[in-house]
Structure formats: C-alpha cells, structure tokens
Amino acid sequence: DTGVSQNPRHKITKRGQNVTFRCDPISEHNRLYWYRQTLGQGPEFLTYFQNEAQLEKSRLLSDRFSAERPKGSFSTLEIQRTEQGDSAMYLCASRPDVVLTEAFFGQGTRLTVV
Amino acid sequence: DQQVKQNSPSLSVQEGRISILNCDYTNSMFDYFLWYKKYPAEGPTFLISISSIKDKNEDGRFTVFLNKSAKHLSLHIVPSQPGDSAVYFCATLSNFGNEKLTFGTGTRLTIIP
C-alpha cells in the first residue's frame, strides 16, 4: 500500500460544470476526511466518514457539494454547478480507528474553475 | 474564529542554524498536537506530534515543545537544512467528537544556504 491516493491531480473546468474527485485511503483506515485548502490558508475541514457513514459535515459544504463512501473504502467528492470560488486544493486524509493518531494525506486535487 | 494561530506567515533561517516555528491555540480541550510539512502542489506530510500529557517530544532534528498553560507549542529544527524549506502547519486534535484536525494558517520556512 503506497498511501492515500487522489485522482485526478489537476482539474480545470468551466463555471457551471459538475466535477467529481476520488480518494482511495490507506486500506486498513476506517476514518476518511476531506479538506479544502486555498492560498495562504491552512486546510479547512469539509466532511468526515467512519467506514461508510458520513458523520460530520462542515458549514463550508454547501448543498452543491456531496460526498460518498459507498462501501467504506474509496470516497468521492462531487461539486455541482461549480463556481470560481470553488477553485482550491481538495485534500483527502485517512486515519486508523485508533484514538489520537495522525492523519495521512493524499497529494490533493487542484481544481481551477474558469 | 481561528482556534489555531500561526502568527508568523514566513521565516528565513541560515542553513545549519535553529528554526523555531510557533503556534497558539485557544481551546483547552485539544488533546493532541501535530506538525505537518507541505511542499507546493503536494499534500501535507506528517512530521511530529505530542500528546497533551507531555511537554516535549523529540525525533531526530525535530523537537516539539508544548506549554499547556500558555496554550502554545513550538517546533524546533536543528540544524536546519535546505530541504526543510516548506510550509509548516500546526494542527490540533480533540478526543471529543470526530477527532478532526484543525489547522493553523501555516508558516513558510526558507532555509538560506
């Protein structure tokens, strides 16, 4: 296992289009997180899964955003009707089901909305 | 409300000297503190962590210090190397809720050869 994998690495889309990103976590990790990072800011929490259950969503996650983890393995993050303000790096992280341990991040998906 | 603050957006240090990065937090419920390093166009990489029951943790050139009464932690890198040039984020974790990481805004460290 080579770590958390995210696809695609880069996505350029026109405003109003839908985009979907995929995250494959480290295989034995139950917990999966999505973060968003914009220039000059730290990663901001978007949503969290424990196995297939989505347990928390940030207020940053508007109704245009939806995330799934159907079988408790990989996860997808979809953005509908993209806006220029959605341009950011989208990061996925996973952690084992052990209290207070570090999360491992993927390389991120850079979204540019034009 | 920024719960984790890194007040220095950038820091330049001569190669071989000590780099000290600082972080302040507001929530006394945080139990675990981490430092991540990030290169451009890559995801953050875990560097070192410390539990709230300790005040120091060391790993090679990296040492993290925690001052709970001041709600302050720092990362010391000694000696600094050119490959240490990156953005460093401190992050906190609580034993409550879903244990999501809360990040600071980062400090860009530049090591001058």
H or E stretch covering A31: strand A31-37
Q: Which of helix, strand or coil describes residue B83? A: helix
With CB atoms and an 8 Å threshold, state whether A99 touches B99: yes
| Sites in chain A below the pLDDT cut of 50 | none
Q: What pLDDT is recorded for position B100? A: 83
Which of B99, B105, B107 has the highest number of chain A CBs within 10 A, making it the mutation to test binding with A?
B99
**Contact of A76 with A21, CB cutoff 8 Å:** yes
Q: What pLDDT is recorded for position A1? A: 54
Could you read off the pLDDT tens digit of each residue along chain B, which spans 113 residues? 678 999 999 999 999 999 999 999 998 888 899 999 999 888 999 999 999 999 999 999 999 999 999 999 999 999 999 999 999 999 998 766 667 889 999 999 999 99
φ/ψ of residue A82, rounded to 5: -55, 150
Please name the member of A56, A107, A108 whose beta carbon is closest to the beta carbon of B98.
Answer: A56
**Contact of B110 with B53, CB cutoff 8 Å:** no
Strands B86-94 and B102-103: antiparallel
**Contact of B22 with B77, CB cutoff 8 Å:** no
Residues in A closer than 8 angstroms to B4, CB to CB, are 42
Integer-rounded Cα radius of gyration of chain B: 13
CA distance linking residue A48 with residue A67, whole number of Å: 9
With CB atoms and an 8 Å threshold, state whether B101 touches A33: yes
Q: What pLDDT is recorded for position B98? A: 65
